[in-house]
Structure 1
Amino acid sequence: MLRNIRDLNYNIYLIGTDIANFTAGNHLCDVTYQVPYSYDADFIKVIADLVGKHNVNLILPTTDYEAYYLSLHRDKIKAEIAVSEAATAKIYLDKYLTFKHHFALKIPFAKTWLPSEYENDESEIIVKPREGRGSRGIEINPKNPNAFSDDYLIQPLHKGKEITTAFYVKRNGALHGLFTMERELANGATSKSRTCKDYDSALEVIILQMISHTGLRGSINLQSIVEEDGTIVPFEVNCRISGTNSIRHNLGFQDIKYTLQEYLYQQEPDIVAPIEGIAVRLLYDVIYPKVSNEDGLNNNSSNFKIY
């Protein structure tokens, strides 16, 4: 997200926040602050104080928890927040609530059980946290699925092509556009992806159903499996800008830019113009030479080297 904002060459003062004092993103910010977890009691007050101190105009949540708690307490924060309505963010924070919501509205979603209600009627299953982050805590075909607490959920192990779809909902509730990538994962994160337009029509039907029944706003991420017969099975929704935004940004779906245009500059977002492309992710280093501790390495004025 930070790299995308810098790439746009807008005159923006970037304030970064994190639960850690020193992160890999510090060198991209004008100033950074260590803050509590978004579900901690002091989080909203800390953010509100930072908004007042720096006359902040816009907040961009980067996690599902941030999206929910910032939306829930937006009346306490004197800045725009690019986020869906709190009730909607709550539904999509919890994958079991997501299933119940979609099932009630006849919107496609993977069949989902709590461990306490599962009756061992699937040949293969996946168990994951209801409020998981990334792919942590996942187990495939555990011997005793009912032994898990109801902080977890169970879904059939759908096999096929994994796709991730970003879509942008304008402030007036209209779908601005969507962009899908087929992806490969390594340690729960995207390692390789390519533009995939094969399912746009079917995905648009699903997304329009979602938008029509909930207060979705801004950039949203829908994760799905495409089975061998072409059936699309959504299994997760993230109510925030997803981590592959840097790839999309360079392939014609610039949801960071759309967000800034609408929420910061009160402009109509640019037309979505996706292109074909492939992306492979790699690691790089941010090196601060001739320093012995992290004190003061909290902004882009520090002496650093990208390698």
Structure 2
Amino acid sequence: MEEKTVLVTGTGGNVGQGVLRNIRSLGRNIRIVGTDISAFTAGNHLCDVTYAVPYSYDPDYIPVVAEIAEKENVDLIIPTTDYEVFYLSENKNHFKAQVAASEATTAKKYLDKYLTYEYHAQHGIPFAKSWLPKDYDGSQQDIILKPREGRGSRGIVINPFHPKEFGDGYMVQPLHKGREITTAFYVTKDGELHGLFTMERELSNGATQKSKVVTEFDAEVREILLKMIAVGGLYGSLNLQSIVTEQGEIVPFEVNCRISGTNSIRHNLGFQDVKYTIQEYLYDEKPDTPNPQNGIAIRLLYDIIYPGATSESDLNNNQSGHVVY
């Protein structure tokens, strides 16, 4: 089989490393180019070649990635961070390679959780009620204040004493209490919902630490996803985060226009969205039918050790002698 080359961004993060492991598990003749803002990451040992690149918002980011893609004859680019999805999608015309990403205008709305709220409200799609701090009306007993942009739990304040003192870079939402669920879903190139996969999870430092497959919310979540997809602009693997309140209401509070960090867990439980991406965008194949199953996952820490190494500069691909322990 002819060798294909895939460029995966963000190899220093858990999303990128999951994508790398999933691609390797497919057993297809795929050469992997990895990029990250750091030259030495835990994902290097899974790549055939790696490059350090600027931050995605840096003016040099697109020219640098385009040069790498040209040099390495890249066939497909898979961005694994939210901002790279936007910038790479916005600049698709700079690449001969396909970019597996939603439309840039849609991805930009989902970078900002307040714009997400306005976007969903405009189209009658459920989302947590949100205010800019200056507009908050004091109607809620408990509130959460969070940055409009950014992921994880960074910058969050529960029940701030003076929410109006925060600037427009923040937003206020009711503090919904209940079960947090995360739903991965895949939208095909022709705009069809290919499947969904929901897990209840526990977080540690903003990332999933434990997860359990749940199916009881699938019918209601599906209706929310179909409304999102109907507006247009969503493609590939995406993620919807929600709270299921004590009254059983599903309240979405964040949308990620990228493959999510639990992709390696899903892959082993029958929802293989990285595989679907490779099938559609790299081989022009119809993606396999999802076959999700129940399961529980917990994450562990392990090490990539380079015996005898004295400098990080040479540890940039899977040919660098290493031990996974």
Q: TM tier, shorter chain?
A: over 0.9
For structure 2, the residue ranges without an aligned partner over 5 or more in a row are 1-18
Alignment of 1:101-250 (within 5 A): 101-250=119-268
Deviates more, 1:139-148 or 1:219-228: 139-148
Q: Which residue is 1:286 aligned to?
A: 304
SS at match of 2:31: coil
Matched, 1:16 2:34: yes
Matched AA of 2:292:
P
Matched AA of 2:313:
D
Deviates more, 1:51-60 or 1:122-131: 122-131
Q: Which residue is 1:28 aligned to?
A: 46
Q: Give the Å deviation of 1:281.
A: 0.7
Q: Which residue is 1:273 aligned to?
A: 291
Q: Give the Å deviation of 1:126.
A: 1.0
1:179 and 1:255 map into 2 onto residues whose CA distance is: 10
SS at match of 2:119: helix
1:290 and 1:143 map into 2 onto residues whose CA distance is: 55
> Quick one: which of 83, 88, 106 aligns to 1:88?
106
> Could you list the per-position Cα deviations for residues 185-213 of structure 1 after superposition, in whole angstroms to 9, with x for gaps in the alignment?
11211110011100100011000000000
Matched AA of 1:112:
S
> Quick one: which of 75, 87, 90 aligns to 1:72?
90
CA contact (8 A) 2:267 2:273 kept: yes
2:143 and 2:24 map into 1 onto residues whose CA distance is: 42
Q: Give the Å deviation of 1:214.
A: 2.4
Matched AA of 1:245:
N
1:303 and 1:143 map into 2 onto residues whose CA distance is: 54
Matched AA of 1:202:
E
Aligned residues: 307
SS at match of 1:219: strand
1:187 and 1:20 map into 2 onto residues whose CA distance is: 21
After TM superposition, the score normalised by the length of structure 2 is 0.93
SS at match of 1:184: strand
> Could you list the per-position Cα deviations for residues 93-126 of structure 1 after superposition, in whole angstroms to 9, with x for gaps in the alignment?
1111100010111110000111121122211111
1:3 and 1:266 map into 2 onto residues whose CA distance is: 21
1:52 and 1:135 map into 2 onto residues whose CA distance is: 37
Matched, 1:62 2:80: yes
Q: Percent identity?
A: 64
Matched AA of 1:67:
V
Q: Which residue is 1:52 aligned to?
A: 70
Matched, 1:298 2:316: yes
Matched AA of 1:13:
R
Matched AA of 1:46:
V
Q: Give the Å deviation of 1:263.
A: 0.2
> Could you list the per-position Cα deviations for residues 23-70 of structure 1 after superposition, in whole angstroms to 9, with x for gaps in the alignment?
110000001000001111010001110111011000001011000011
CA contact (8 A) 2:152 2:205 kept: no
SS at match of 1:6: helix
What root-mean-square deviation, in Å, do the aligned CA atoms of Structure 1 and Structure 2 show? Answer: 0.8
1:94 and 1:256 map into 2 onto residues whose CA distance is: 25
SS at match of 1:14: strand
1:110 and 1:289 map into 2 onto residues whose CA distance is: 50
SS at match of 1:32: strand
Matched AA of 2:250:
I
After TM superposition, the score normalised by the length of structure 1 is 0.99
Q: Give the Å deviation of 1:133.
A: 2.1
For structure 1, the residue ranges without an aligned partner over 5 or more in a row are none
SS at match of 1:222: strand
2:118 and 2:306 map into 1 onto residues whose CA distance is: 49
Q: Give the Å deviation of 1:143.
A: 1.6
SS at match of 1:290: coil
Matched AA of 1:183:
R
Q: Give the Å deviation of 1:303.
A: 0.8
Matched AA of 1:268:
K
